[in-house]
């Protein structure tokens, strides 16, 4: 096996840009008729501007709930999220979200889906078109700009959802398993493109994935979560140069260690 680049002073996204997001004692309990589900409990974390931070945790532990709280789509039961010192109590143009189920408009064309946020923001037509084209190229869908979303494969839909979130240029991008429906090869291409985009902007990405490999490949920090009620089990700093070598000894060993941490959490709730 090849050895990774030495664990030295590799530049990290957002390293010197300071804290942007503060999650302070966040808690969420869903209440429905006679049932209560405590999903998140006393969750606190600071996220740096321009950082790519991933969350990995057992299925159903509350990852999507956490993203929705940061997006301001649902209210917390306790605690709060602040971005640049402002309370995030509702959705805002500073945050873009790529949902686990895409949340696209099936009857609209690919182009019209990507242009949607720009339309809402009142961006003029020609400008909208140009920006949409750029992001469609980035996700490899320029030839499908005029197709209806309902005619696309799952992986293609996922790429439309990614382009739609990125095109608006939000400060913070919340991604809920954005590459989950992609085949291995497309997934690798998208992972590389995402790190390229980040290297040239100061956008912050909060990234949820089931793949420990993907989390290590992409992130400045990987947050390993417990099962419900979700707490932080461990935060792993990944200091290696990009692009990272997935076959290096350090990479393989770290993956193994995080996977075994997760296995301990993966006891099914009945
Ligand atoms: N609107 C809701 N009302 C009641 N319970 C909910 C609601 N949304 C989610 N839950 C419950 O909260 C828990 C966490 O759900 P969530 O979708 O946040 O998990 P997740 O970590 O994203 O799971 P996955 O890895 O499968 O995507 C689950 O037990 C789920 O059943
Ligand atoms: Mg989820």
For residue range 108-141, list pLDDT tens digits in order: 999 999 999 899 889 999 999 999 999 999 888 9
Span 5-34, average pLDDT:
75
Which residue shows structure tokens 């209440």?
Answer: 31
**69 Cβ closer than 6 Å to some ligand 1 atom:** no
Residue of minimum CA distance from atom 28 in ligand 1: 60
**225 Cβ closer than 6 Å to some ligand 1 atom:** no
Q: Is 14 in contact with 49 (CB distance < 8 Å)? A: yes
85, pLDDT greater than 80 = yes
Q: Which of 249, 240, 243 lies closest to 5, judged by CA?
A: 240
The reported pLDDT for the residue numbered 8 is 41
**182 Cβ closer than 6 Å to some ligand 1 atom:** no
| Tokens found for residue 15 | 């390293």
Instruction: Provide the residue ranges of all domains of the chain, joining segments of one domain with +.
Output: 1-90+219-270
Q: Which atom of ligand 1 is nearest to the CA of 269?
A: 29
**61 Cβ closer than 6 Å to some ligand 1 atom:** yes
Span 155-171, average pLDDT:
91
For the four alpha carbons of 238, 60, 153 and 70, in that order, the dihedral sign comes to negative
Q: Which of 239, 181, 232 lies closest to 210, judged by CA?
A: 181
6, pLDDT greater than 80 = no
Stated pTM of the model: 0.89
> Domain 1-90+219-270 has what CATH class?
alpha beta
Distance CA 117, CA 228 (A): 34
5 band by pLDDT with thresholds 50, 70 and 90: very low
Concatenated DSSP letters of 185-247: HHHHHHHHHHHHHHHTS--EEEEE-S-HHHHHHH-SEEEEEPSSSB-EEEEEE----SS--TT
267 band by pLDDT with thresholds 50, 70 and 90: low
The reported pLDDT for the residue numbered 138 is 87
**78 Cβ closer than 6 Å to some ligand 1 atom:** no
32, pLDDT greater than 60 = yes
Distance 210 CA to ligand 1 centre (A): 15
Over residues 186-224, the pLDDT tens digits come to 899 889 888 887 777 788 999 999 999 999 999 999 999
**2 Cβ closer than 6 Å to some ligand 1 atom:** no
69 band by pLDDT with thresholds 50, 70 and 90: very high
Residue of minimum CA distance from atom 30 in ligand 1: 60
The reported pLDDT for the residue numbered 99 is 86
Mean pLDDT of the chain: 89
Residue length of the chain: 270
**39 Cβ closer than 6 Å to some ligand 1 atom:** yes
Residue of minimum CA distance from atom 5 in ligand 1: 30
């Amino acid at each position: 096996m090849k050895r990774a680049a030495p664990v030295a002073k590799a530049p990290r996204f957002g390293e010197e840009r300071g804290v942007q997001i503060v999650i302070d004692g966040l808690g969420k309990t869903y209440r429905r008729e006679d049932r209560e589900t405590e999903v998140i409990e006393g969750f606190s974390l600071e996220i740096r501007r321009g950082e790519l931070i991933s969350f990995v945790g057992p299925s159903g532990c509350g990852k999507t709930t956490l993203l929705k709280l940061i997006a301001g789509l649902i209210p917390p039961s306790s605690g709060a999220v602040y971005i640049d010192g402002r309370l995030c109590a509702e959705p805002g143009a500073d945050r873009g979200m790529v949902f686990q189920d895409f949340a696209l408009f099936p009857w609209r064309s690919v182009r019209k889906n990507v242009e949607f946020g720009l339309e809402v923001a009142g961006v003029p037509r020609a400008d909208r078109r140009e920006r949409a084209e750029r992001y469609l190229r980035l996700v490899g869908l320029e030839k499908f700009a005029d197709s209806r979303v309902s005619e696309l494969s799952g992986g293609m839909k996922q790429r439309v959802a990614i382009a739609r979130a990125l095109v608006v240029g939000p400060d913070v991008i919340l991604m809920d398993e954005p590459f989950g429906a992609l085949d291995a090869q497309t997934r690798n291409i998208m992972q590389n493109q995402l790190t390229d985009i980040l290297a040239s902007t100061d956008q912050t990405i909060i990234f949820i994935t089931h793949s420990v490999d993907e989390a290590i490949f992409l992130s400045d920090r990987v947050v390993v979560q417990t099962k419900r009620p979700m707490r932080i089990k461990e935060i792993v700093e990944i200091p290696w140069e990009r692009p990272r070598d997935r076959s290096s000894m350090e990479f393989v060993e770290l993956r193994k260690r995080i996977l075994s941490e997760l296995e301990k959490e993966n006891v099914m709730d009945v």
